[in-house]
Structure 1
Amino acid sequence: MSFLSASQMTGGYGKADILHGCTLTVEKGQIAVIVGPNGAGKSTAMKAVFGMLPLRSGSVTLDGDDITSLTPQDRVGRGMGFVPQVNNVFPTMSVEENLEMGAFTRRDDFRDTIEQVYELFPILREKRRQNAGELSGGQRQQVAVGRALMTKPKLLMLDEPTAGVSPIVMDELFDRIIDVARTGISILMVEQNARQALEIADVGYVLVQGANAYTDTGPALLADPEVRRTFLGG
């Protein structure tokens, strides 16, 4: 069984289903990327995996345990970390206070984890006393990812981590995501910059209308003429 297995997920909002039998799997230390057109259900699939969206059918297992009925808070306790696209920092709190909030549920000494976050994102050490709301968009994303890492997740989920940042900052964020995966943390990521995201993906999922349209390795999807023509601009 895969480390994360979200199988045949069907669900949505109210009476309208957004997901239609969507399946996502991620192995230990893999980077899995969800791409697709606007309205394809990418962020909805992420919310379903994290327990923010009740499923009408399907299941979610993490590290062999069925977590389908667990709340998002309980899933964090099982090793999930989630970084939403917007409103993902406390703007009036300092960078370091944001990171400390990420360790709110921990009862051990988390200073070593803060040090690891600062090693991963050196600019955050430099700005640790500055309010997160005063940072650039890319720096705020680093704070958000760092705060999620403070929970010591086994699976880190990122919803549009490069939204609104410059190409240079996007490349830097992708480099840091690779660094995180190399530590053994699994990554599940929704990304609008499909071509760049698939370049770093071990596995890619192309969703269309809440269902799997294509599933393959990142390089294979980039090389697929139909995927390139339909979703990557040729």
Structure 2
Amino acid sequence: MLDAAPAATDYALLGAGMTGGYGAADILHDCTIGTKPGEIAVIVGPNGAGKSTAMKAVFGMLPLRGGIVTLNGKDITALSPQARVAEGMAFVPQVNNVFRALSVEENLEMGAFLRRDDVRPTISQVYDLFPVLGDKRRQPAGELSGGQRQQVAVGRALMTQPSVLMLDEPTAGVSPIVMDELFDRIIEVARTGISVLMVEQNARQALEIADRGYVLVQGRNRHTDTGSALLADPDVRRSFLGG
């Protein structure tokens, strides 16, 4: 078990003791998720566990009735999503995450809307990370494959030069080969020092690359440990990984 009482100063991003939901109904119940600098943290669990809701709460898209969210030790609980982006967070939603009529490069430029410096070096870095995007830079994003659109979405998020990258189901609907490639790129992003927090439906594969894993059930933490420890846990394997 990791960090029974996590200290905000140790985390790049931490949502601690989060309780909240939509309307009068709470979906999250004293839920804690987070990622340390340069870590990949993965949130897994059954359908309806509150995984995406927890991500939205951390990003400020869901009002909390309890708990706190910190970014690099700073309390950002009251900040809007836009203000959180300015503070160094980037969030890639599962769907509707590219401007389909715009070219790949125009999508990347849109990701840099808050910046006032020269964004061309960052675009080059994105093309180094995702070479296929460089080849298709003039092509409308809507004409790309599902996996390529996901690369555009991640690349656009990286254009803000975030300290934390949040991904909601980044491999949804893509082939196993594309999933492996996306996971490889996510590892590369973390190696640059960017912290990654993601919800992932392919739990076993995600935990294999995770420094930290959270298993949520009905909006509550069920298991928290390293990815390797969760993969080896008989209860986790039996209940969430198919044996």
Match of 2:3 in 1: none
Cα separation, 2, equivalents of 1:88 and 1:45 = 19
User: 1:25 offset after TM fit, Å?
Assistant: 2.2
Match of 1:135 in 2: 144
Q: Does 1:21 align with 2:30?
A: yes
What amino acid does structure 2 have at the position aligned with 1:112?
P
Match of 2:63 in 1: 54
TM-score normalised according to structure 1 size: 0.99
Among 86, 89, 94, the alignment partner of 1:77 is: 86
Cα separation, 2, equivalents of 1:60 and 1:189 = 16
Among 181, 186, 189, the alignment partner of 2:195 is: 186
Cα separation, 1, equivalents of 2:33 and 2:134 = 35
Q: Secondary structure at the match of 1:56?
A: strand
Deviates more, 1:18-27 or 1:178-187: 18-27
RMSD: 0.4
Q: Does 1:205 align with 2:214?
A: yes
Q: Does 1:95 align with 2:104?
A: yes
Match of 2:231 in 1: 222
Match of 1:170 in 2: 179
Cα separation, 2, equivalents of 1:92 and 1:4 = 33
Match of 1:64 in 2: 73
Match of 1:149 in 2: 158
Percent identity over paired residues: 79
Cα separation, 1, equivalents of 2:166 and 2:143 = 25
Q: Does 1:36 align with 2:53?
A: no
User: 1:48 offset after TM fit, Å?
Assistant: 0.3
Cα separation, 2, equivalents of 1:144 and 1:7 = 27
**Unaligned regions of 5+ residues in structure 2, if any?**
1-8
- Deviations along 1:160-214, one digit per CA (max 9) or x if unpaired, are 0000000000000000000000000000000000000000000000000000000
Match of 1:121 in 2: 130
Cα separation, 2, equivalents of 1:46 and 1:25 = 10
Q: Secondary structure at the match of 2:64?
A: coil
Q: Secondary structure at the match of 1:87?
A: coil
Cα separation, 1, equivalents of 2:227 and 2:84 = 27
Q: Segments of 4+ in structure 1 off by > 4 A?
A: none
Q: Secondary structure at the match of 2:109?
A: helix
User: 1:4 offset after TM fit, Å?
Assistant: 1.4
Cα separation, 2, equivalents of 1:64 and 1:172 = 32
User: 1:11 offset after TM fit, Å?
Assistant: 0.3
**Unaligned regions of 5+ residues in structure 1, if any?**
none
> CA contact under 8 A between 2:12 and 2:163: conserved in structure 1?
no
Q: Does 1:196 align with 2:205?
A: yes
- Deviations along 1:33-81, one digit per CA (max 9) or x if unpaired, are 0000000000000000000000001000111110000000000000000
